[in-house]
Structure 1
Amino acid sequence: MLLPIILIFVVAFGTLLLGRYTRSKFFKLITFVPFLLFTYFLSFLINVSDGTHSILFSNEWIPSLGISLDFKVDGLSLLFSLMITGIGTLVYLYASSYLRGHQYLHRFYCYLTLFMGAMLGLVLSDNLITLFVFWELTSISSFFLIGFKNEDEASRKSSLWALSLTGLGGFFLLASFVIIGSLSGTYSIHELLTKSDVLVDSTFYYIIIFFMFAAAFTKSAQFPFHFWLPGAMKAPTPVSAYLHSATMVKAGIYIIARFTPILSDGNVWNMTLMIVGGTTMFFGAFNSIFKTDMKSVLAYSTISALGVLVFLLGMGSDMALYAACTFMLVHALYKAALFLITGIVDHETHTRDLTVLSGLKKVMPIIAFAGIIASFSSAGIPLTFGFISKELIYGATMDDNIWTQGSVIFLTSLAVLTNILLAASGFLVGIKPFFGKLPAKLEKAHMPGFLLWLPPVLLSMASLLFGLLPAIADNTVIKSASQAVRGTFIDMPLEVWHGFSIVLLLSMATIVLGVLLYMVMKPTKGAEVFIEEFDKISSKRLVIFVVQNIKTFAFKYTRIMHNGYLRIYLLFIIVFFIGIVGYKLFADVPLRINTEQLSPIRIYELAVFIMIIVAIFFITYTSSRLTAIAALGVVGYSICLIFVFYGAPDLAMTQFAIDTLTVVLFVLVLFRLPSFLKFSNRKIQIRDAIIATIFGILISLITLQALVYPSDKEVSKFYADSAYTLAKGKNVVNVILVDFRGFDTLIETIVLSIAAIGVYSILKYKTKDGEKTE
């Protein structure tokens, strides 16, 4: 399994590097990549479809940390893998015609392939850290896809919103995974299934689920984080069809479904999902019927559908989980078809405005047929796959064995209202543009090419096929997926006809009321503007307000803490050091200073001390940079003498070399600069003198305190004993720097190199007119 995942990324970067040198026909061949993967995953149906088997592919990565590249194929991951590759195949084929001739087509296919690989890695990963890595890759690759039209400011903003929110969710997901791994002692997902009690009974349980919900809700556009998804419709239609039907937005749904058997406590977990999902599904469906842009309608209906999935997963009953797994596939089929149909309409008429679109059935009969079937599935019309899914949803809300009578009425009413609104919004996109009188300005529209109309037709026919023969989907992926979510076998076969019941009556009422709403609620600009007025109190406004205040705080903080003056940086560092170390020293350490063990000051030591004091005086009060540099060198050389006095000639030579080099370099660089500015503010000088004095006293106290503490020479002894035997070096200091702490030295060297490059860049900087700046 690792090899196919790696090959996907090889193909992605190969397309980026070589795509510009190939003809447009080459990109049609890339469709074979998701198609071959689709057939590859179909081969697992025989072993996985019964729900009793799963296949684990183990690959060690960082075993010392418990991180591995393990991939698991079970019912849930197989359902997602087939949707990702199956719908991906059609999207690839569609995009080869939709974006034909685009100058950045090779970039598009690179981003799309990266995203497909990231999604497959996410749903197949059996290791928490590996799953997180692929989760972040989906956010990054979707950022490039949403912002593909990078010349458009709206596209750039939309991609940044999507990346910001999903990236924030990724941070919370990592925190959740780290806590789970720490408590359970494993990052393996299949091992966590046996450690559910450890996590649920932990005092960190609510923190874990809070972090996980934050990740899932931002990724799957749950209220109040939903607003990034409509903005993401600025992406090309193939991207919208792929990301918002079967892949990216369902990543959060996958996380919830995968961890339901591990983290569900039957109370807080389920109630949170029901509340958030129920709010989202009604909010999205209600807003969808007021939109006049076909993509906007689909965006809000997608938000609603994601809310339905979260709502069902929160209910947690056998029928609810079975309905959730069924609706995942139902929604992927009809929503991808409607998105692709929207792209065709836009491609041929250059508009998606529902107030002007009508009568296109005369020029696009095949597209109209696909739109009707897809919208029928969205509305739950009998003989479509959506009808079966809708009946399962109603059956789950009306389960008297789980819910009280009041809960049954409320949950069922909410589901019915949502489905009525979704039916009307589906008709708006799948039927409204094709029926009625064809406007004169749209008469030039014509039937698109084969590669454009075939994908939506196939998706619509799949909705019809699974509606007529639901056992095909049930016995292959639905049953095994529901078992993976539930943790136990669910015996609930999908059937076209369940007999006369209250569920059937509700389904018929939903259809009738949905049709009536569609006929009464004509899309108008006035209604859309009226609804958009409520955006002033929306969650997006709140997030924007918070972001603006964070930026204001960051600006003020930067002006104070990072104002460009080195002396201020040093001042803050020293004050912070004094506060932290001083508090720790006086609060927790009993001060003991034994002056009797101190040796008397010798005359030459006193002379060196006086030299240092005089040099510091010159450094502080001189107005000449060269004088300050020379005095700084005197301080350095005086320290060299101290090293010599106390038997450390190697340190003395090192210090001598460094100080000599420093003085020379400073002279070469700074001798052209003007004199120091004289301080006119006496208070600043007094402030700095007080801080410097306190700092010096603190360091002196620490030094004197260290003399009376018994020293632990275990580390020193190890270095002394091992320097030659392990590193073959006789100079212990050099061995420590080069071998035992070689990475520290390497990183320090890298930092110095980066700093040198930065200084060189500043020195070589040129203004726009080509003149060097000083």
Structure 2
Amino acid sequence: MLLPIILIFLLAFGLLLLKPQKILGFFKFLWVLPLLLVFYFSGYLPSVYEGAQVVFFRNSWIPSLGISLDFKLDGLSMLFSLMITGIGTLIYLYAAQYLKRDANLHRFFSYLTMFMGAMLGLVLSDNLITLFIFWELTSISSFFLIGFNTTQEESRKSALWALSITGLGGFLLLAAFVLIGTVAGTYSINQLLTQSDVLVNNSFYYIIIFLLFGGAFTKSAQFPFHFWLPGAMKAPTPVSAYLHSATMVKAGIYLLARFSPILGGDVVWNYTLMTVGALTMVMGAVLSVFYKDMKGLLAYSTISALGIIVFLLGVGTEAAIYAACTFILVHALYKASLFLITGIVDHQTHTRDLSILRGLRKIMPLVAVSGFIAALSSGGIPLTFGFLSKELIYGVTTDFMFTQESIVLLTGAALITNVFLTASGFLAGIRPFFGKLPERFQSVQKPHLLLWFPPVLLSVITVLFGVFPVLPNTLFLKATVRSVLGKLPEMYLSLWHGFNTVLLLSAITIVVGTVLYLAIKPSEKGEKSLEIIRRFAPQRFIAATTQAIKWFAFKYTRFFHNGYLRIYIMFIILFFMGIVGYKLFADVPLRVNTEGLSEFRIYEFLVFIITIIAIYFITTTTSRLTSIAALGVIGYSICLIFVFYGAPDLAMTQFAIDTLTVVLFVLVLFKLPPFLRFTNPKIQFRDGVIAVAFGILIALITLQALVSPSDQSVSKFYADNAYKLAKGKNVVNVILVDYRGFDTFIETIVLAIAAIGVYSILKYKTKDGEKSE
């Protein structure tokens, strides 16, 4: 399992090296990659669905930290893997024709391949940390896909919004995973199934689930984080079809389904998912019918569909889980088809405006049939796969487990959602193709085979699964539900359950949804009517919060990073004094004992006087060269102190460094403007007080160290083993070269890089060929 994923990423990076103008035909055959993966995963169907419940692939990575590249193929991951690769095959086929004239086609397929690999790694991972890594890779690769049209400002902005929101969710998810691993003592998802009681009964349980919800809600566009998804429609249509039908937005759904048997069952878990899901599904469905842009309409209907799945996972019964798993597949089929059809309409007519699109069935009859079937499935019309899913949803909301008030409330929310989704599906899949063909579209050409074949195939599968429900039930749904519930479901899909309340609700949905579709006239006025709602939209509050954070960051940066080196040093010293001073005076009683100190000798006194004079010159001179020379005098004075106390090697090092520093400073300062005398006495007094206080603190620390017991074990180890192990008699040199050799090597590299940077600046030439001063 690891090898295919590695090969996918290698191909993704290799595609960046290709030149699309020379090998345009190569991209038309990239669909073979996801198709081979479909066959690869299908080969495990007997093992997953008929024999063993789970197929494991173990790969040790960092065992000391409990991190491994383990992959698990069960019913849930199988369903998602086949959706990712199956619909991915059609997207690859479609995109090769849709973007064939794009100069960056190789980049597109590189990002798309990287995204597919990240999604597969996410749904197959059996380790929390590796799941998080792939989770973040989906955010990064989707950022490149959404912002693929880099010349468009709106595209770049939408990509940043998507990355920001999903990146925030990723941070919350990492915190949840770390807490889970700490509490349960393992990062293995399979082992966590046996640790459910430990997690649910832990005091961190509610923190864990809300952090997990943050990750799932941001990725799956749940209220109030839903607004990034409509903005992501600025991406090319193949991206929208792939990311928002079967992959990226379903990642949060997968996460909730995967952790339902581990963290679910609690009242807070269930009611949070039910509330957020219900709010999202109603809001998205109602708002979708106000848009005349086909992609905008599909974006909000996608938000609504995701809310339905979250709502069903929140209910958590066997019927609800079965309905959720069914709707995941139903939505992937009809929504991918509608997105692809939208792309065909836009590609051929250069517009997605529903207020002017009519009669295209005469030009593209097969596309019209596909749109009609996808619209019927979204509306839950009999003999389509969507009809079976809608009946399951109504069966959940009318279940006897709820109170009468709850049944009315939940069924009402589901009915409103399905009515508006029916209308929006008809708007996207039927309206552009029926009616009289406008004169402006008389010259529209028929779409290429590679464009219309994918939605036609998806429509055929939709009808096939609707007419023969035993196929999805046997192939996918039973094993998928078993992965979530931990047992085989007793339910099954059926075309006919008799005359009952569920059938009545389905009929009401179809009739009212059709009437609503006929009554809606997409227009500019309809979209503008949403401006009142947008004033209170979460995006405005989040954008305002972002601006406040940017303002604070600007003020903070201007205060602490104002360009003056002396201010930087002052903050560092003050922080050090605050931390060390508090520790010195608060925790440990200050002890000063001068009895063990040696007498103050005359030559030490002379060095002290020389140092004081040098400091005076530094603080009062108006010449840079004088201040550098005085600074060198202080350095040499320290060299003498080292000599006085028997450290000639340190003295020689200090002498060499000070000499080199003085020479370099003189060379650098030689061409600088004249020294500007600093005349503000208040600031000079402030700096003087800080300097004296810092000196006193260092003196007190030194005196405290003289009377504090010290651990000699480390120094004794070096002294005893320097010659034995490293064959060196100079302990300091042995530490630097052998024991800390790698550290010294890195420091040498840093100095070399700095030297290269300085040399580059000195040799920099302006555009006219002259050296820059």
How far off its partner does 1:754 sit?
4.5
Q: Which residue of the partner structure matches residue 254 of structure 2? A: 254
Q: Which residue of the partner structure matches residue 494 of structure 1? A: 493
Matched AA of 2:452: W
How far off its partner does 1:293 sit?
0.2
**Cα 1:656–1:14, aligned 2, differ >3 Å: closer, same or farther?**
same
How far off its partner does 1:538 sit?
0.8
Runs of 4+ more than 6 Å apart: none
How far off its partner does 1:84 sit?
0.3
Output the CA distance in 2 between the equivalents of 1:750 and 1:549. 40
Output the CA distance in 2 between the equivalents of 1:19 and 1:5. 24
**Cα 1:739–1:472, aligned 2, differ >3 Å: closer, same or farther?**
farther
Output the CA distance in 1 between the equivalents of 2:664 and 2:471. 78
SS in 2 for 1:414: helix
How far off its partner does 1:482 sit?
1.2
SS in 2 for 1:591: coil
**Cα 1:41–1:645, aligned 2, differ >3 Å: closer, same or farther?**
same
Output the CA distance in 2 between the equivalents of 1:553 and 1:456. 50
Output the CA distance in 2 between the equivalents of 1:504 and 1:749. 77
How far off its partner does 1:764 sit?
4.7
Matched AA of 1:64: S
| RMSD after superposition | 1.6
Superposed CA deviations along residues 653-680 of structure 1, whole A, max 9, x for unmatched, are 2222211221121111112213332122
The question of 1:146 aligning with 2:146 is answered yes
Q: Which residue of the partner structure matches residue 581 of structure 1? A: 580
How far off its partner does 1:720 sit?
2.7
Which consecutive residues of structure 1, in runs of 5 or more, have no partner in the other structure? none
Alignment of 1:308-323 (within 5 A): 308-323=308-323
Alignment of 1:263-342 (within 5 A): 263-342=263-342
Q: Bigger CA drift: 669-678 or 71-80?
A: 669-678
How far off its partner does 1:629 sit?
1.4
Output the CA distance in 2 between the equivalents of 1:165 and 1:105. 27
Q: Which residue of the partner structure matches residue 121 of structure 1? A: 121
Q: Say whether the 8 Å CA contact 1:384–1:464 is kept in structure 2.
A: yes
**Cα 1:218–1:750, aligned 2, differ >3 Å: closer, same or farther?**
farther
Output the CA distance in 1 between the equivalents of 2:135 and 2:727. 46
The question of 1:558 aligning with 2:557 is answered yes
Alignment of 1:181-196 (within 5 A): 181-196=181-196
**Cα 1:564–1:479, aligned 2, differ >3 Å: closer, same or farther?**
same
Alignment of 1:40-189 (within 5 A): 40-50=40-50, 53-189=53-189
How far off its partner does 1:265 sit?
4.0
SS in 2 for 1:673: coil
Q: Bigger CA drift: 44-53 or 661-670?
A: 44-53
Q: Bigger CA drift: 735-744 or 411-420?
A: 735-744
**Cα 1:101–1:418, aligned 2, differ >3 Å: closer, same or farther?**
same
Question: How many equivalent residue pairs?
Answer: 773
Matched AA of 2:650: L
How far off its partner does 1:768 sit?
6.2
**Cα 1:415–1:729, aligned 2, differ >3 Å: closer, same or farther?**
farther
Q: Say whether the 8 Å CA contact 1:284–1:302 is kept in structure 2.
A: yes
Output the CA distance in 2 between the equivalents of 1:604 and 1:21. 80
The question of 1:723 aligning with 2:727 is answered no
Q: Say whether the 8 Å CA contact 2:265–2:316 is kept in structure 1.
A: no
Output the CA distance in 2 between the equivalents of 1:642 and 1:152. 66
SS in 1 for 2:535: helix
Q: Which residue of the partner structure matches residue 543 of structure 1? A: 542
Matched AA of 2:572: I
**Cα 1:496–1:723, aligned 2, differ >3 Å: closer, same or farther?**
farther
Q: Say whether the 8 Å CA contact 1:51–1:483 is kept in structure 2.
A: no
SS in 2 for 1:527: helix
Output the CA distance in 1 between the equivalents of 2:459 and 2:561. 59
Alignment of 1:380-391 (within 5 A): 380-391=380-391
Q: Bigger CA drift: 409-418 or 745-754?
A: 745-754
- Taking structure 2 as the reference length, the TM-score comes to 0.98
Output the CA distance in 2 between the equivalents of 1:665 and 1:264. 67
How far off its partner does 1:727 sit?
4.0
Q: Which residue of the partner structure matches residue 636 of structure 1? A: 635
Q: Which residue of the partner structure matches residue 608 of structure 1? A: 607
Output the CA distance in 1 between the equivalents of 2:334 and 2:23. 32
Q: Bigger CA drift: 554-563 or 81-90?
A: 554-563
Which consecutive residues of structure 2, in runs of 5 or more, have no partner in the other structure? none
Output the CA distance in 1 between the equivalents of 2:645 and 2:27. 74
Matched AA of 1:348: Q
Q: Bigger CA drift: 724-733 or 354-363?
A: 724-733
Superposed CA deviations along residues 17-54 of structure 1, whole A, max 9, x for unmatched, are 12436421110111111010111011111111248511
Q: Which residue of the partner structure matches residue 451 of structure 1? A: 450
How far off its partner does 1:618 sit?
1.4
Output the CA distance in 2 between the equivalents of 1:746 and 1:132. 33
Q: Say whether the 8 Å CA contact 2:366–2:452 is kept in structure 1.
A: yes
How far off its partner does 1:587 sit?
1.1
How far off its partner does 1:729 sit?
3.8
Q: Which residue of the partner structure matches residue 473 of structure 1? A: 472
Matched AA of 1:705: Q
How far off its partner does 1:586 sit?
1.2
Q: Which residue of the partner structure matches residue 568 of structure 2? A: 569
Q: Bigger CA drift: 467-476 or 378-387?
A: 467-476
SS in 2 for 1:491: coil
Superposed CA deviations along residues 498-531 of structure 1, whole A, max 9, x for unmatched, are 2221111111111111111101122121111011
How far off its partner does 1:488 sit?
2.8
Q: Bigger CA drift: 709-718 or 730-739?
A: 730-739
Matched AA of 1:502: T
Q: Say whether the 8 Å CA contact 1:51–1:489 is kept in structure 2.
A: no
Q: Say whether the 8 Å CA contact 1:51–1:75 is kept in structure 2.
A: no
Q: Say whether the 8 Å CA contact 1:24–1:100 is kept in structure 2.
A: yes
Q: Which residue of the partner structure matches residue 625 of structure 1? A: 624
Matched AA of 1:81: S
SS in 1 for 2:15: helix
Matched AA of 2:364: M
Q: Bigger CA drift: 317-326 or 655-664?
A: 655-664
Q: Which residue of the partner structure matches residue 413 of structure 1? A: 412
How far off its partner does 1:379 sit?
0.7
Q: Say whether the 8 Å CA contact 2:21–2:103 is kept in structure 1.
A: no
Q: Bigger CA drift: 110-119 or 99-108?
A: 99-108
Superposed CA deviations along residues 117-150 of structure 1, whole A, max 9, x for unmatched, are 0110111111111111111111111111011110
Q: Say whether the 8 Å CA contact 1:24–1:101 is kept in structure 2.
A: no
**Cα 1:582–1:374, aligned 2, differ >3 Å: closer, same or farther?**
same
Output the CA distance in 2 between the equivalents of 1:417 and 1:198. 40
How far off its partner does 1:758 sit?
4.5
SS in 1 for 2:18: helix
- Percentage identity across paired residues of the two chains: 69
Q: Which residue of the partner structure matches residue 365 of structure 1? A: 365
SS in 1 for 2:447: coil
Q: Say whether the 8 Å CA contact 1:51–1:479 is kept in structure 2.
A: no
SS in 2 for 1:72: strand
How far off its partner does 1:740 sit?
3.1
Q: Say whether the 8 Å CA contact 1:348–1:448 is kept in structure 2.
A: yes
Superposed CA deviations along residues 412-449 of structure 1, whole A, max 9, x for unmatched, are 11011101110100000000000111100011123211
How far off its partner does 1:770 sit?
6.0
Superposed CA deviations along residues 635-693 of structure 1, whole A, max 9, x for unmatched, are 11221222222222222222222112211211111122133321221000000000111
Output the CA distance in 1 between the equivalents of 2:19 and 2:71. 30
Q: Which residue of the partner structure matches residue 663 of structure 2? A: 664
